[in-house]
Amino acid sequence: MKNINIKLFCLVALFALGSCKKDFLEQSNPDALNISKSFKTENDVLLAVNGCYALLRSGNTIGEGSDLWTDQRSDDTGTNDNQSNAGEPFGFNNFSLVPTNSYLFSHWSAMYAVIANCNIVLSNIDKVTFAKPETKQKYKAEAEFIRALIYFHMVREWGDVPLVTKQFTDPDEVTANTGRNPQAAVYAQIITDLKDAVNSPLPATQATGTIGRISLAAVNTLLGQVYLTMATTIDAANKTADLNSALASLTAAYNSKTFGQLKDIPYTDVFDVAKKSTCPELIWQIVNIQGDPNYYSGIAASSQAKGETINSLKTSGGAGYNVTHDLVNDYEANDPRGAFSIKFANDATVKDWFVTKFRDASSGAGTNGYGGNDWILMRYADVILMLAEVNMYLGNNGAAIQYLDMVRDRAGMPTYEVSSQNVDYAKKYPTLKLAILHERRVELAFEHHRLFDLLRTFTTDELVAYFHSKNQADFGSALLTNFTTKDRYFPIPFNETKLNPAKMYQNPGY
C-alpha cells in the first residue's frame, strides 16, 4: 500500500463535507446521496480513507500547527507579542477564551469535518464488494480509529460533545443530533471503535510502504491512553479495571517494537529528517514531503527566531516558537534534550528562548522553508512513560521506575533513585507521580502532549492550584491568575449553542 503522502489529497475536496460551513451540523450535504453512490470499487473506499487521513494534516485538527489548542493552552509555550494581546489567539495561553472566539470555532468545525468523512466511509463501505475481506476490515478499522482519535481529543477539550456515528442524509437527522452527549457515551463509542480496530488485520507496525498509516501498535497505544484517561478523570468506579485495561493495551503496543532498548535509539534520530522513515521509535506520523510547496512541513521555519539559522535556511523575522521560562527552568542541568530542543535567540529584538526541536536546514528545504519533518503523533517513549504512569497508579512502583529509567537512561540522565537523592530534584518532584509528569514534559516537549498530561494528572482544583503556584515572571504577558476551574474545558462555540441552547448547553464559567 502506498505511503499516505501520495498525492490523492485532492479527494479531500470531495469528502470534506462542510469543512467551511458555519457549524458542524452542516456537515450534512445536499449531495450526500450522490456521494454515497460514488462508492463502487475498493479504490473508491481507499480514496475516501485517504481523505480522512489528509484532514489530520490541518492545524485546525491535530497537525503540526495545532499548538494553539494544546501546548499554548498549557505551561510550555505562548506568545509575548504585545500586538497580539487583544487578539483571539492570545486568549488561549492567557486563559481568557470566550465562546465567540473564531479560532476555537474553526477547530470545532474542522474536527467534525474529520468525523463526518469517517462516517461517510463507515456508512457506505458495505456497498462495495471486496476481493479480500481483510482489505475491507483494514479500511474500516482505519476510519474507526481516526473517528475515535478525533472524539478523544474533543471529549478532553470540551467534555460532553455531540456524538454522531453515521452519515447525515436528512435534515431531520441533523435536528435530532443537535445536542451534546455525556462524556461516558463518547468514551464508550471511542472504546467500541478501537476494540474493533484492534481486532482487525492491520499490520503490527508501520513499515516501509505504509508510513503514515495506522498499525496495531498505534491502535493499542491510543486504546491504552484512552483507558488511562478514563481511569484518572471520569470513571472512578472502574478505575482499577480501566488501569488494568490500559496496562494490557500499552504492553501490547510496547511488545510490538522492532528495536531492543530505547537507549539504542539516539534522541536526535527521532527528529532527523533523513531518518524519519527508518527510525524504529516512531509508531505513527503525518508524512510531509521536503521541497513540495503543497505537502511540506513549515514547523522548522516557523519555529525559528530572528537572526538564527539552526532550524531552517528561511530567514526569520519574528520571535519564532516561543518557550515559557517555566519550561526552560524545568530542564535538569546537563539534560541533552534541553540543549537539542530549545535555544536562546540573542537578536536585539528577540532575546528569548525558541524551539529548535524540529529542524530542516537542508538545501532540499531551501530558503522557502519547505521542510521534510514528519509530524510525530505516537512514539515509544510516550508508550513507555504511560506504562510508568499506569504502574504507578496500580501501586507497582518498582515497575513504574523501571519504565521511567528507560527514558532517563536514553537521555543520559541519572536514574530516578539517584536523582531522588538530589535536593533540588526531590524538592521539585517529591512524588513519583510528579517525576513522571516532569519526564513527560521534557521528553515530549512541543509534541502537543502537555495539556492532556496536565488534565490527566490533576483534578480541576489541583490544576488551578498548580498554575497559581507558578512564577508569573516565567510567563510574560499571559496572566496565570486568569486560570480558574472554567479552564478545565473550552467553551462551546457560540454558533453551536445558539442552535439549541438547552441541548447545546454551555460549559460552566463561560
User: Tell me: the pLDDT tens digits for 433-467?
Assistant: 999 999 999 999 999 999 999 999 999 999 999 99
Amino acid letter for position 29: N
Residue 104, H or E segment: helix 102-124
Of the chain, the percentage scoring pLDDT greater than 90 comes to 87
Does this chain's domain 1-202+458-510 share its CATH topology with 209-220+233-240+255-285+376-449? Answer: yes
Could you tell me what percentage of the chain is helix, strand and coil, using 3-state DSSP and rounding each to the nearest 5?
Answer: 50, 5, 45
Helix axes 432-443, 380-393, angle to 10 degrees: 170
What is the CATH code of the structural domain delimited by 209-220+233-240+255-285+376-449? 1.25.40.390
Give residue 82's pLDDT.
59
Q: Which residue has the cell 489530520?
A: 56
95 within 8 A of 483, measured Cβ to Cβ: yes
Give the residue extent of every domain in the chain. 1-202+458-510, 209-220+233-240+255-285+376-449, 288-373
Residue 32: band (very low, low, confident or very high) from pLDDT cuts 50, 70, 90 = low
Bridge partners for 343 per DSSP: 354
Residue 402 corresponds to which cell in the numbers above? 523501571
CA 421 vs CA 388, 400, 462: distances in Å: 20, 18, 26
282: helix, coil or strand?
A: strand
The DSSP string of 342-403 is EEEE--TTT-EEEE-SS---STTTTTTT-B---EEEEEHHHHHHHHHHHHHHTT-HHHHHHH
The tens digit of pLDDT for each residue in 209-241 reads 889 999 999 999 999 999 999 999 998 999 999
* All residues at 6 or more sequence positions from 473 whose CB lies less than 8 Å from its CB, including other chains: 325
Q: Which CATH architecture has domain 1-202+458-510?
A: Alpha Horseshoe (1.25)
Residue 107: closest CA among 176, 39, 44, 157: 157
Residue 84: band (very low, low, confident or very high) from pLDDT cuts 50, 70, 90 = low
pTM of this prediction? 0.94
